[in-house]
Structure 1
Amino acid sequence: MSIVFLSMLLLLLALQSWRAPFPFRQGDYIPHGITAKLEFERIDKEETEKAQILAESSVPYWFRHDSGNLDSLPEELRASLGDIARADSIEKLGDETRRDFGLSNAIPVGLRAEEAAQRFGTDKPDERFRELREAVVGQDMAMAQVRIQALVDDFGKFIEPLNKIGVIDPETVKRLEITPDKRILVMDEDVTEREGRAMLLPNVRLQDQLNDAGVLGIRWEEFPTLTKEIRPAISHWLYRRAQPTLRYDQNATQLAKAEARDSVDVRMKRYLKDDILVNSQTHLKADDLELLRDEYQAAEATIPWTSRLSRMAIVFALLLVLTWLNGFYIVLNEPKIATDVGRLVLYLSAIVFTAFIARLGSFDPLRAEIIPLLTISLLIGVAYNQLLATLTAFTLTLLLTMSTTGRLDHFLVLLATQTAGIIPLRKVSTRTTLIKVSFFSAITFFAVSCGAAVVETQSLQEVWDNTNFLVMSAKGAAMCLVAGYLVAGTLPFVEQAFGVVTDMTLLELSDPSHPLLKDLVRLAPGTHNHSMSVASIAETAAEKIGGNGLLIRVGAYFHDIGKMLKPQYFIENLQEGGVSRHTQLNPAMSTLIIIGHVKDGVDLAEQYNLPQPIIDLIEQHHGTTLVEYFYREATKQVECQPDHRTDAEESSFRYPGPKPQTKEAAVLMVADACESACRTLTEPTPKRIESLVNSIAMRRLLDGQFDECDLKMSDLHIVEESIVKSLIAVYHGRIRYPDARSA
């Protein structure tokens, strides 16, 4: 009782029963619109996003400055001026040098033709060459090196501001779309802390630095060697040869943008009571659903704990009713669950876990509650029976619907889908059947969803035009298929956990190529033949009284596997003319060997991982019956030797049991004994067979072998009739044919 009560409390927590249901889902049709039930505020995501974007856009780009790129410029200029001095005409200059000094028609990167001509005079290359060469060579060629040195020295001083300010790459400016009024932040290459100098684009763009008002343009007059005539050529050379010193630091910039975005306060939007949240005759979109959920959360926040406790009490009362209904059925029809604490805990744990997972996955955008619900329903249907599965499905669906949407159409769709999957589970002989069942459930999910939507909208065309609804319905149908594959894959583990065996497993075990059956044929062929006969007889009898015929047939295949460890001690395995080994043993020792085949069979079954129901049949098929032949032999010996009276105690000649716990085990016991005994009849006429079967059944009944199972007297009578018919069919009479001489 405490386990059940604890499960109820866990269900209350798993379903969050203190919360009201949220009835809306994406794609729902809203015929009359939705208004606010109370005044509430919510984050205005659109305005907040705008403010965050604005804050990000105001963050300057970060650059790292490496002045080392400029160190080689003076020496490079020396070499270029040397080329000018050595050439007595522009035609003798190399192409690279001509382009560097603007003495060709090439346009510098980042400049238009008009701008290049205005800045550097690129439209008069011959004149510029003569002016530049005259400034370098002058009247005396011997003084060229002195003049070059002076030019280089002044040039080095001229570009010193660039070592502090830096030069930006024009391509970076274009890629980042940096405008002239946009600030950038510059920090030295070796600085680890994010502290920079604020700069405007004209301060670091070389073409602007060379303007008359630029940081370099205002310095020309300070250096007399850099005359007005050669300034355009020197500027052009510098523009082409100077490498950018400012490297864009994306990490620092993104970090600064993130900080700016995070610093923005969220913008709130207020809704008054009765404000329209969703217009009429529309389908709920994701934004609408989010707005309604915010209103729901605001309403939930105003509910006092007294009201929440009242709701929990109501849900608990409903749980009591459902628990009583389920418990009443389980006690009457599934005593294995009711009396076995382990199975009960496992069953209740599965219910609680399914409820928790189903609620967790029931909300948009997942809406995957059908997967755990259908999975547990199919598993219980396969492991136990359809009625228990249907009852479990009803209970879980009702509780889940109450805690999520609270809508009748939602309840009907889920319950109909599970019921459609449970109905075909009467016989599940292959795993493919489970996939077919899940496909049937998928069709039901889609059809019932569409039907419920048509009833709600009163328009088939409206449903057909709602693409989002159709997609979600198809998604739910696909999830039914997922549940089918999930059941097929987890079924072996579920069988082991619940201690049950399905028809699929039984059919796999009935394969003659099973190692134990192959060994039985090889080592104990007589026992194998007996087992096959018992299987056929017992299966027919079990089905007559509503038992599991397949289970008893497979159990009969394995019920005597313990005999193959000592096959020669069992008469069915003796060769014709062979002598029984029991003639050399006393009755007590022979009894131990005979009884031992049950324990040996159980050990072999466990070693080969046979299901527990099969092991139970092996263990119970003799119950606590008496090994009558050797008991009588022992009694005869005691009559001759009275001092050994204790050697003939009846308890020493009985199987250890347990007695049959199920009707299948009881049927197997009777069928096994009758098939063996019938082989001893010299003339197995129908009357003799009937008398023999009745005698064996009555002895087992009077011996109390059926006291612990649910076999009724009417069932026993039906079993007797079935076994008699089967044995008569086996031992039917034949016409004696004349031999060759009489013919």
Structure 2
Amino acid sequence: MAFFGSKKSRTALAASLRDSSKLSSRLRELLSNRGTLSRLSVCLLTILILMVAVESWKAPFPYRLGMFFEHGIVANSTFKVANPIETDRQRTQKESEVPYYFKHNPNLIDKLPELLKDDLIAIANAKSLDELNTDIRAELGLTPSRRLEQFRDQFPEEPEQTFAELKSLVSSPDSKDTQKIKDLIDDFKKLIAPLSDFGIVNENDLAQNQIRIYDDKITIINDVTNEEKKVTPFDIRLPDQLSANGVIGLPLETNVYKRLVPLKEVLSHWIHFQAPTTLVYDPQRTLEERNQARNQVEEIFDTFQRGTILVEPGQLIDDNQLALLRAEYEAKEKKVPSYERGIRITIIFLMLVVLAVLNGYHLLRNKKAVARTVSRLSIYLSVIILTIFLARLLSYDPWRAEVLPLVATVMVFAIVYDQMMAILTALSLSLVICLSTGGSLGHFVVLMSVSAVAVTSLGNVSSRSTLIKLGFGMGLTYFLVYWGINLINNQELSNDFFDQQIVWESLQGAGWCLAAGYLVAGSLPFIESLFGVVTDISLLEMSNVSHPLLQELVRRAPGTYNHSISVATIGEAAADKIGANGLLVRVAAYYHDIGKMLKPQYFIENMVQGSESLHDNLAPAMSTLIIIGHVKDGVDLARQHNLPQPIIDFIEQHHGTTLVEYFFREAEKQADLSPDHKTDAEESSFRYPGPRPQTREAGVMMLSDAVESASRTLSDPTPKRIKSLVHSLVMKRLLDGQFNECSLTLSEINVVEESLVKSLIGIYHGRIKYPEERSA
């Protein structure tokens, strides 16, 4: 037993074990709560998404355009950089070597001999030139006006002479015309046989596709045999084919076909007229072949050895140097082993957990509505994720605008939640942004300085111009802090006092801050809708008496409307006294009793003096249901008219769970007279459904509503009676536990009480009696 120590130590150990057991039990109970697990799951999912957003598996890339390095930057390892210029040059060269592809239909050439035969027979049968068809004359060049320009000097001046020569070649006195024509056609078939191999191209195809006649190569694909043949533009252009060195002109020049030599000019002219285009450009095949040739050329890289100077000393980083630094960074990242990446991921995860715990503790202590509601917590965390994602995306060149989403989010949180939560979130966001983008300590100071200006200036938003002015203030702060930090980091202040790069970057950041002010100002209605809050701007818009609900309230229940105006007046003054939002209380007071307009005659302030009360003919329980029902009716009306949720909360909470005392006492009297109806006087049946006030403003509203209504029952509202009445109502609600769920302290309740007393005394102050006019 000595091993376990003294009795005192054993007792301490037992107590410690009991405490540990209680803690474990509490932890198990907490984790068994489905809502808690949901919120923890949302937080864990947020951390995992943030790890992806910040690319936690690799180091941040710290370089940006315009950065200055006094001693330059030297390569720490050997790496390769793609040379796009040389790569493109070689790919373009390879692409240019690919020929143009044309589809060839040789069957069109086979029709030419028959056409020529018909024309020659027509010549043989004609006795004079006039008897020939006009089309045949044009084809053979026998009509000077229609003769092709390149043949005008090759024909005799008189077409009759050419006709006579032709006729002598195709006919003779012994009437053997058929044999002469047959011999000529046989030679003609042999003459044009190369056209079936080469084809004939349309000159427009060459011009439209910018095919150079003497430089480019062409491949023709025979539609019949599907064979490919490489040719030059000279081989397929009809003028070149008919020239002295062409596939048709050369045999005629060298007398290969002697019978056709006398017909050389006429035949050439006829071929120009009748020869069809057999080659059609194939752009798809050409493009495919060129892309294939281009893709076969692998990317060319330039190698930079370790120790190579990437940025010269005293130089600013330009586009080319930034590309080199990026290439070195990527090369080094590829060499990082898996276990190092695992360590980096673990460290970043733990850092994010620490920040999550810090922010989560503040939420649990000060913003329970956000921390304990999955939907509100999800919105808060989603905005943080979006901010970090956008900040990282915009932090790179040419934007350099990570300050824009940061200050916009900080401004939104300052408006929606409070200044403490906004500055705490700004701290976390600035840390994550700087660590994930390679930002320096100086940059962190810049971001926090701008965030501090945004938070401290947003105690309330009374107008949209407030946000615009704040944008100018943030921009000025960014400019001065950024410029100052970059200035003091250099040894020689005089050389960098008006450095253009620093001034430009300062102005650029200031511009983004100004843009954030305009962005938040323009998005304010959407922000209010998303987070379920109202700003002073919206409250001022809602306080306009021309609002449809207020106009309807005036028409249906004027007594209730006057009561609401009085509650708004005294409630706003009381709220301002304790530092609460008096404007919110005032506007909420305008709408807190709108449900009464559906049954106005059942509420005393709307009854005509001397008329019978409708409650006289109802049981106390039924009267209570009607009275209590104005809360539910008010909520329904508010939602139909799209009033914001904070105003609806006031409508629900301004009576809390208080007792409808008058009808409860009536029910008790009836129960005393009739013992069988004891159950009709249960207190729970005569209480409002609640909930109790959840905010200081709702608590002030409850007291203002109660004392304003009760003060109207005083026959002689002296200051002493008013004070006594207010104190009794305050104590009754305090002892009834109506303020247990809001943050009103006893000292604040006392201040509210004094303010209400002062306001009511002012309303019911006495007046001097004016002397009556003496009669004459």
Distance 2:739 2:568 in 1: 20
Contact 1:137 1:144 in 2 (8 A): no
User: Which residue is 1:335 aligned to?
Assistant: 368
Evaluate the alpha carbon distance shift between residue 485 and residue 731 of structure 1 in structure 2; reply closer, same or farther with a 3 A threshold: same
Cα deviation digits, residues 17-48 of structure 1 (max 9, x gap): 23111111233334432211101223222222
The equivalent position to 1:355 in structure 2, one of 365, 368, 388, is: 388
Cα RMSD for the two superposed structures: 3.8
Distance 1:622 1:483 in 2: 41
Query: Per the alignment, in what secondary structure is the counterpart of residue 394 of structure 1?
Result: helix
Contact 1:453 1:463 in 2 (8 A): no
Distance 2:193 2:104 in 1: 14
Evaluate the alpha carbon distance shift between residue 99 and residue 233 of structure 1 in structure 2; reply closer, same or farther with a 3 A threshold: closer
Distance 1:290 1:170 in 2: 47
The equivalent position to 2:166 in structure 1, one of 136, 145, 162, is: 136
User: Which residue is 1:283 aligned to?
Assistant: 316
User: Which residue is 2:755 aligned to?
Assistant: 722
User: Which residue is 1:46 aligned to?
Assistant: 85
The equivalent position to 2:547 in structure 1, one of 478, 491, 514, is: 514
The answer for unaligned runs of 5 or more in structure 1 is 109-115
TM-score, length-scaled by structure 2? 0.83
Aligned residue runs from structure 1 range 85-124, under 5 A:
97=138, 100=141, 123=153
Aligned residue runs from structure 1 range 223-372, under 5 A:
223-227=257-261, 229-239=262-272, 242-372=275-405
User: Which amino acid letter does the alignment assign opposite residue 567 of structure 1?
Assistant: P
Distance 1:13 1:570 in 2: 60
Aligned residue runs from structure 1 range 452-467, under 5 A:
none
Q: CA deviation at 1:232?
A: 3.7
Query: Per the alignment, in what secondary structure is the counterpart of residue 732 of structure 1?
Result: coil
Q: CA deviation at 1:481?
A: 5.8
Distance 2:479 2:167 in 1: 93
Contact 2:143 2:159 in 1 (8 A): no
Contact 1:167 1:205 in 2 (8 A): yes
Distance 1:247 1:470 in 2: 62
User: Which amino acid letter does the alignment assign opposite residue 43 of structure 1?
Assistant: A
Cα deviation digits, residues 515-567 of structure 1 (max 9, x gap): 32222111111011101110111111111112121221121111111211211
> For structure 1, which segment, 562-571 or 620-629, has the greater mean C-alpha deviation from structure 2 after superposition?
620-629
Distance 2:314 2:752 in 1: 66
Evaluate the alpha carbon distance shift between residue 169 and residue 355 of structure 1 in structure 2; reply closer, same or farther with a 3 A threshold: same
Q: CA deviation at 1:136?
A: 0.5
User: Which residue is 1:180 aligned to?
Assistant: 214
User: Which residue is 1:26 aligned to?
Assistant: 65
Evaluate the alpha carbon distance shift between residue 325 and residue 215 of structure 1 in structure 2; reply closer, same or farther with a 3 A threshold: same
The answer on 1:704 being equivalent to 2:737 is yes
Distance 1:215 1:670 in 2: 112
> For structure 1, which segment, 535-544 or 427-436, has the greater mean C-alpha deviation from structure 2 after superposition?
427-436
Query: Per the alignment, in what secondary structure is the counterpart of residue 369 of structure 2?
Result: helix
Q: CA deviation at 1:639?
A: 3.5
User: Which residue is 1:214 aligned to?
Assistant: 246
TM-score, length-scaled by structure 1? 0.86
Distance 1:382 1:477 in 2: 22
Cα deviation digits, residues 653-696 of structure 1 (max 9, x gap): 22222222211111111100111111111222222222221121
User: Which residue is 1:548 aligned to?
Assistant: 581
Distance 1:76 1:456 in 2: 92
The answer for unaligned runs of 5 or more in structure 2 is 1-35
User: Which amino acid letter does the alignment assign opposite residue 183 of structure 1?
Assistant: K
User: Which residue is 2:197 aligned to?
Assistant: 164
Q: CA deviation at 1:710?
A: 0.9
User: Which residue is 2:236 aligned to?
Assistant: 204
Distance 2:223 2:529 in 1: 67
Query: Per the alignment, in what secondary structure is the counterpart of residue 46 of structure 1?
Result: helix
Evaluate the alpha carbon distance shift between residue 273 and residue 682 of structure 1 in structure 2; reply closer, same or farther with a 3 A threshold: same
Evaluate the alpha carbon distance shift between residue 735 and residue 95 of structure 1 in structure 2; reply closer, same or farther with a 3 A threshold: farther
Cα deviation digits, residues 443-502 of structure 1 (max 9, x gap): 6556655555556676899897868x8887776666556655554565444434433332
The answer on 1:671 being equivalent to 2:701 is no
Distance 1:378 1:95 in 2: 90
Distance 1:460 1:71 in 2: 89
Distance 1:72 1:460 in 2: 90
Contact 2:123 2:167 in 1 (8 A): no
Contact 2:139 2:274 in 1 (8 A): no
Evaluate the alpha carbon distance shift between residue 154 and residue 430 of structure 1 in structure 2; reply closer, same or farther with a 3 A threshold: farther
Evaluate the alpha carbon distance shift between residue 105 and residue 507 of structure 1 in structure 2; reply closer, same or farther with a 3 A threshold: same
Q: CA deviation at 1:594?
A: 1.6
User: Which amino acid letter does the alignment assign opposite residue 135 of structure 1?
Assistant: E
Contact 1:15 1:356 in 2 (8 A): yes
Distance 1:145 1:527 in 2: 124
Evaluate the alpha carbon distance shift between residue 178 and residue 443 of structure 1 in structure 2; reply closer, same or farther with a 3 A threshold: farther
Query: Per the alignment, in what secondary structure is the counterpart of residue 693 of structure 1?
Result: helix
Evaluate the alpha carbon distance shift between residue 86 and residue 716 of structure 1 in structure 2; reply closer, same or farther with a 3 A threshold: farther
> For structure 1, which segment, 280-289 or 18-27, has the greater mean C-alpha deviation from structure 2 after superposition?
280-289
Q: CA deviation at 1:103?
A: 6.9
Evaluate the alpha carbon distance shift between residue 617 and residue 62 of structure 1 in structure 2; reply closer, same or farther with a 3 A threshold: same
Q: CA deviation at 1:302?
A: 1.8
Distance 2:495 2:288 in 1: 52
The answer on 1:593 being equivalent to 2:612 is no
Contact 1:132 1:230 in 2 (8 A): no
Aligned length: 726
Cα deviation digits, residues 682-718 of structure 1 (max 9, x gap): 2222222222211211111122211221111110111
Distance 2:766 2:635 in 1: 38
Contact 2:117 2:185 in 1 (8 A): yes
User: Which residue is 1:527 aligned to?
Assistant: 560
Evaluate the alpha carbon distance shift between residue 413 and residue 163 of structure 1 in structure 2; reply closer, same or farther with a 3 A threshold: farther
The answer on 1:126 being equivalent to 2:156 is yes
The equivalent position to 1:381 in structure 2, one of 408, 414, 420, is: 414
Aligned residue runs from structure 1 range 561-576, under 5 A:
561-576=594-609
Contact 1:101 1:236 in 2 (8 A): no
Contact 1:588 1:630 in 2 (8 A): yes
> For structure 1, which segment, 523-532 or 346-355, has the greater mean C-alpha deviation from structure 2 after superposition?
346-355
Distance 1:298 1:675 in 2: 76
Evaluate the alpha carbon distance shift between residue 573 and residue 301 of structure 1 in structure 2; reply closer, same or farther with a 3 A threshold: same
Distance 1:96 1:422 in 2: 96
Cα deviation digits, residues 223-246 of structure 1 (max 9, x gap): 44312x442443355346645432
Distance 1:660 1:366 in 2: 47
User: Which amino acid letter does the alignment assign opposite residue 207 of structure 1?
Assistant: P
Q: CA deviation at 1:431?
A: 4.5
Contact 2:129 2:160 in 1 (8 A): no
User: Which amino acid letter does the alignment assign opposite residue 180 of structure 1?
Assistant: Y
Cα deviation digits, residues 108-142 of structure 1 (max 9, x gap): 5xxxxxxx6xxx6x656537968744430339898
Q: CA deviation at 1:16?
A: 1.7
Evaluate the alpha carbon distance shift between residue 482 and residue 197 of structure 1 in structure 2; reply closer, same or farther with a 3 A threshold: farther
Distance 1:205 1:343 in 2: 78
Query: Per the alignment, in what secondary structure is the counterpart of residue 126 of structure 1?
Result: coil
